[in-house]
Structure 1
Amino acid sequence: MEVLGVRVRLNAPEQEVLVLLNEHDGPRSLPIVVGPHEAVAIATVQAGMPMPRPGTHDLLLACLEATDVRVHQVAITELREGTFIAEIVLTNGRRVDSRASDAIAVGLRAGVAVWCEDTVLDEAAVVLDVDEDDREHVHLTGTLGADEAEERVAEFRSFLDSVEPGDFSDEDEQS
Structure 2
Amino acid sequence: MPVQMELTRIIINENSDQHIIFLREVDGERTFPIVIGIFEATSIDRRVKNQPTVRPLTHDLLANAIDALGGELADIYISELRNHTYYAKLRIRHEGELIEVDSRPSDAIALAVAVDVPIYVAEEIIDEATNQ
Structure 1 alignment gaps of length 5 or more:
127-175
Residue 6 (structure 2) aligns with: 2
Q: Which is helix-richer, 1 or 2? A: 1
1:88–1:97 Cα contact (<8 Å) kept: yes
Query: Does structure 1 residue 124 correspond to structure 2 residue 129?
Result: yes
1:6–1:18 Cα contact (<8 Å) kept: yes
Structure 2 alignment gaps of length 5 or more:
none
Q: Which is strand-richer, 1 or 2? A: 2
Gap change, CA 1:94 and 1:122, over 3 Å in 2: same
2:90–2:102 Cα contact (<8 Å) kept: yes
Q: State the identity as a percent.
A: 34
Matches within 5 A, 1:27-46: 27-46=29-48
1:31–1:125 Cα contact (<8 Å) kept: no
Please give the per-residue CA displacement for 1:94-141, whole angstroms capped at 9, x wherever unaligned: 001000000000011111000000000000137xxxxxxxxxxxxxxx
Across the two proteins, how many residue pairs are aligned to each other?
A: 124
Q: Which has the higher contact order (CA 8 A, sep 6+)?
A: 2
- TM-score, length-scaled by structure 2: 0.88
Q: Which runs of 4+ in 1 moved over 2 A?
A: 13-16
Residue 61 (structure 1) aligns with: 63
Task: Find the structure with the greater CA-based Rg.
Answer: 1
Give the aligned CA root-mean-square deviation in angstroms.
1.8
Gap change, CA 1:81 and 1:6, over 3 Å in 2: same
2:12–2:41 Cα contact (<8 Å) kept: no
